[in-house]
Amino acid sequence: MHPDSPYCTKASEITWQQDTPSSVEFDDSYWSQGDPTLEKQWVFPGQHQLPSRAQEADLVVLLELGFGFGHNFLQTVTLWETSGTTAQLHYIAVERSPPTLAALRRVHALTRTTAGKRLLEIYPVGLRAWHVVWFTDKIRLTLIFEDAQTALPKLDAKVDVFYLDGFKPSQNPELFNQFIFEGMRRLAQPGASASTYSVAGVVKQGLRAAGFKIEKRQGWGRKRELLFAEAPGNWRGQRLRRPSVQIIGAGIAGQSLAGSLNRFNIQPIILADPSHPGASSQPALNIYPQLSLQRDRQSEFSIAGCYFALHNQKGVQHRPLRWRSATPAKLQRMQRLCQLFPDDYLEQVGRDVIYHQAGIWQSLALAGLRDANVCQMIPSEGQMQLCNAAGHPLSKADVTMLAAGAGMHSLTSLALKNVRGQSIRIQSKQALPEFLTGDINITHLGGQDFLVGSTYELGSNDPQTRLVDTDRLMSDLAQTLNHRDFTLTAPHAGIRTTFSDRVIGAGLLPAHTISTAMMAKPNARTSGPAPACYALMGLGSHGATHAPLAAEAIVSALCGAPSPLPRDLTHLTRLDRF
């Protein structure tokens, strides 16, 4: 990996005094000698009355600057889980120079807590990215590996509690400065609270200048005092919006939306047209990131999307993906990419390249799914009523989400391009690559069953399988394996859609883009603003990688939770960009 890679974080350089780590860069220890549990518990979660706040809110948003080894987070998780609350905790942590997984394992080697083991399982590779995971069914962790000075302006959140846990201010001016304090004030709810172990003048004066009221409180151990601060105003618990929701479409977009809605305790109605089968008619889809030699927003979204899909989406099996190609130019490009990423993310092994953060998505049965062909949308008394071709009502809800894949052509006027693809399902008694991409895709479905694909035909809307495509795939597979000891089980053909810029579309759907053939004309009952319609569409060839995170962003915005995306990536996928 190149030391100046634009994708990678600068891992914290650590020296050890027995089991206590110290930062070489900041010439400071992560905590005092011994077990940091009681110290961290007192200075951070112990100052903010979290259990009582949880009883007065549907969600509490906490922002930590300086995640370190995760002790503050783990103490907060324990407090939250033992409080008996049903409220959600949205824990956002920013860390510029994260410890390596090996260092984290050394510190937490003897942990016997479920939370500690879970942290080691989900701890991300050292990439500058936003890593979002539902740590428990009530706690969502957004772990941002980025400098706080660039991360805070991108945050879209209303913060109730701040943990300011950087190294000593004299050595860490990047975290303890007026820009950071003003950023905290911008994000703070009225009455939001903050705590830090440091009572240095720059911290007291800076927080006061940003508008916080400060006070010294009893510290812990050798640190006699800590600093507590509050934003102006009276604190009121945040409430989640939980409207009724109906989804049109049951493919990867519809399933991703349903999964995110379920996490916010919303059970949607799901309508799917049997003539538009979901997941591009494929029995399995690959999850791995789309990477660029030049870091750009699409690569950033794909890295974040891949992490989210692997750790949150139901029906996903985490497996390393092997890339292989006989084309020299493709191989050279992949070799250059490998130089930009750590080996535990992207690794060259001989002439192959391994995506270590990859997986396979297989469709699951959806609760509440109804087979129905939606032909009309009628605004009625603040809700949207969906009807079939005969005008008979199918469902009605406050919010409608369009996620119909190739069926979106009839639902919206936004310009989508079709891409037809065909794959084949085979059986082989001989060992085949478990999970391969590059010149050909091979996915092990279980037993002797494998999925092989796929063709690419831009502009076609033909959903039927073709013998010529089947023969081509059989021939390509035989050439790859150097044998024909396999049998065809079934071909699969499907249509996926993409936008001209090859970026997915996600978010609130502009009213003028809903198909006029679908939307009923206004009448006496349709006066007032049209009910909200959202869409997740144009997923292209990496829908299984990108749809779950995009769906989480849509549902978070709908419910009033912090966005799992930085502002620039939300802007990237917006539907009014055309």
Query: Which pLDDT does position 521 carry in this prediction?
Result: 62
> Residue 483: CA atoms inside 13 Å, Cβ hemisphere, count?
8
Q: Between 519 and 477, whose confidence is greater? A: 477
Tokens of 179: 């820009």
Model confidence at 279: pLDDT above 70 = no
pLDDT tens digit sequence for 50-81:
999 999 999 999 999 999 999 999 999 999 99
Please give the pLDDT value at position 29: 83
The residue-averaged pLDDT of 257-282 equals 85
Are 506 and 416 a contacting pair, CB within 8 Å?
A: no
**pLDDT by residue (tens digit) across 378-421?**
998 889 999 998 989 999 999 999 999 988 988 999 999 999 99
Q: Does the pLDDT value for residue 330 go beyond 70?
A: yes
> 């590059």: which residue's tokens?
438
Alpha helices of 191-233 — where are they, by DSSP H? 201-209
Query: How many other CB atoms are found less than 10 A from the CB of residue 324?
Result: 19
243 CB neighbour count, 10 Å cutoff: 13
User: What's the pLDDT at 45?
Assistant: 96
pLDDT confidence of residue 2: 67
State pLDDT tens for residues 126-156. 999 999 999 999 999 999 999 999 999 999 9
What does the alpha-carbon distance between residue 387 and residue 398 come to, in Å, rounded to a whole number?
A: 15
More confident residue, 351 or 222: 351
Query: Which helix (H) or strand (E) is 49 found in, with range?
Result: none
Radius of gyration of the chain (CA): 26
Q: What is the arithmetic mean of pLDDT over 180-200?
A: 97
Gap between the Cα atoms of 491 and 426, Å rounded? 9
Out of 114-118, 257-261, 529-533, give the one with best mean pLDDT: 257-261
Residue 259 pLDDT > 90, yes or no? yes
| Contact present, 169 and 205 (Cβ < 8 Å) | no
Locus of tokens 């070799």:
335
d(CA 259, CA 249): 13
Residue 462 confidence (pLDDT) above 80:
yes
Please state the rounded mean pLDDT for residues 36-52.
92
| pLDDT at 285 > cutoff 70 | yes
The whole-angstrom separation of Cα 210 and Cα 215 is 15
Tokens 């009033």, residue?
A: 560
Bond from prior residue into 256 cis (ω within 30 degrees of 0): no
DSSP-derived secondary structure for 51-100: HHHHHT-SEEEEEEE--TTSHHHHHHHHHHHHTT--SEEEEEEE-SSPPP
Residue 148's Cβ-count burial label (10 Å; 0-12, 13-18, 19+) is buried
C-beta neighbour count of 522 within 10 angstroms: 12
Model confidence at 454: pLDDT above 90:
no
* Residue pLDDT, tens place only, 352-387: 999 999 999 987 777 778 889 999 999 988 899 999
Average pLDDT over residues 492-519: 89
pLDDT digits (tens, 9 = 90+) for 310-328: 999 988 999 999 999 999 9
The closest alpha carbon to 435, from 337, 320, 303, belongs to 320
Residue 35: its pLDDT value, please? 78
Residue 556 in 3-state DSSP? Answer: helix
Contact 277, 252 (CB under 8 A): no
Longest Cα–Cα distance in the chain: 78
The chain-wide mean pLDDT, for the chain, equals 92
Token digits for 461? 């809307």
Q: Please, which pLDDT band fits residue 11 given cuts at 50, 70 and 90?
A: confident
Q: Rounded to 5 degrees, what are φ and ψ at 501?
A: -90, 0
Give the integer Cα–Cα distance in Å for 188 and 62.
Answer: 10
Greater model confidence, 110 or 335: 335
Environment class of residue 560 by beta-carbon count within 10 Å: exposed (0-12), middle (13-18) or buried (19+)? middle
